[in-house]
Amino acid sequence: MPDTINERQRGRAYVSPSAWALIVIGAGSVLSSLDLFVVNVAFPAIRDGFPGVTNQAMSWVISAYSIAFAAFLVPSGRIADIYGRKRVFKAGLLVFTVASVACAFAPGALTLIGARGLQGLGAALMIPTSLGLLLAAYPQERHKRMVGIWAATGSVASALGPVLGGALVDINWRLIFIVNLFVAAPAWRLSKHLTETPIVNSAFPDVMGSLMLIIGLALLVAGISYAGDWGVTSTALWSVYCGAALSLALFVRRCLTCPSPALDLRVFAVSTFTVATVGMAFFYMGFAIMLLGGSLFLTEVWRWGPMLTGAALGVGPCAAVAAALLAGRTTFSPKQLTLAAGLLFFIAGLWWYALLGAESQYFFAYLPGIVFTGAGAGIGQTGFLAGGASALPAHQYATGTAIINTSRQIGAAIGVAVFVAVAGTALHAGQFKTAWLLMAAFGLMATLSALLLTVPE
């Protein structure tokens, strides 16, 4: 108390260490959420900045982030137990910052793709550690409120992302990565206020297993993306698919035999958890098609500028925030939430398939679809996470939640690959028709998965 009084007497505002911790953790959440929407809005500008680069090649700017995030999300949580969450969070923040600089000054598409993968690694190091660090800074009676604030931070960043991204892309697409420095630099300086967590004597996770997952997913995504170009009977295509199958099989084998696996696959013995994990993957396949396809439709078909496109897309995350808040106040079960989320995506896909055409009709044709998908995203993730994790024993809750989030990133990478495979150059309204049907189909598969959730209502 005396220190506080002295600070105020000297005319300076006093900010408690716990408040600084909230700011730092919030900054990490903002960085990982912001880039998801900003890069999708900037996709055409980035592609046009590297002459001769196709949509298939540029899709790796999105997929590299998702694949690296997926592969290292669970191992990062275990690394944090060994070395301390504060150290790992700061390492992730540093990696993400350096990768953002590399993205901003990338001389070519290949360099940019590599830097985006590095960003995914940085995000994977930050996200599993952030909530634990935040809760360590506050007494237990305030934990529920802090969890809500932590979740809301990412949602707000998602809502602002398209608008901010559009404004920056109008100037230069490289600014979407430079802006990360204005968030990361203060966060790094203020990270001294974080409280280090106790170190656990645990075995280091199997990095080789994570690399097998990266290789397998990368080959699978490549096979889906280039299937149309190579042809379904080509040797190249089936060589890539065989390589993906082999890498993923080796990954599973290592997870089952390694003393400290990259992913603890024992949780899949619980059928409800397995259903929730698969359902989350399907859901985010549809989500990725909506996000990239919805952005490209506005810029390439209707020829809207980046700023207007960002504002139009920003309605979706706003709907997600509103839907998530409303869902939290209801008594709906996880099963009911996931059913509703999948059906909203199903309806949105069919709506866009039937009504989106070359003529610009935002309020009647486009807006309902973006509102439906936004609302679905707001309640769907919560439903699958709660439904899957609640079926596990308490000691496996953290592992289960991380694996479901991993499936979300895998689903997003596959969804992007599916979109570029079926949409091709994505310059005309007719090229999007199959993508909208697939978005609806993935929503329907998420709904069917939800029907199999057997947690108590």
Q: Max Cα separation, the chain?
A: 78
Q: What pLDDT score does 423 carry?
A: 94
* CATH for the 265-457 domain, from 3.40.720.10, 1.20.1250.20, 1.10.10.10, 1.10.150.20: 1.20.1250.20
Instruction: Tell me, yes or no, if the two domains 16-190 and 265-457 fold the same way.
Output: yes
Q: What pLDDT score does 69 carry?
A: 93
Task: Report the distance separating Cα 451 and Cα 387, nearest Å.
Answer: 11
Burial class of residue 448 in the structure, from the number of CB atoms within 10 Å of its CB (0-12 exposed, 13-18 middle, 19+ buried):
middle
**Ranges of each domain in the chain:** 16-190, 206-261, 265-457
Task: Report the distance separating Cα 264 and Cα 386, nearest Å.
Answer: 19
In DSSP notation, 214-241 reads HHHHHHHHHHHHHHHHH-TT-HHHHHHH
Q: What pLDDT score does 4 carry?
A: 45
Task: Report the distance separating Cα 206 and Cα 225, nearest Å.
Answer: 29
* CATH for the 16-190 domain, from 1.10.3470.10, 3.40.50.10320, 1.20.1250.20, 3.10.450.100: 1.20.1250.20
Contact indicator for 157, 93 with CB cutoff of 8 Å: no
Tokens coding 147: 């969890």
Q: Phi and psi dihedrals of 136, rounded to 5?
A: -65, -20
Report pTM: 0.89
Q: What pLDDT score does 164 carry?
A: 84
Q: What pLDDT score does 242 carry?
A: 97
Q: Which regions in the chain score pLDDT beneath 50?
A: 1-15, 456-457
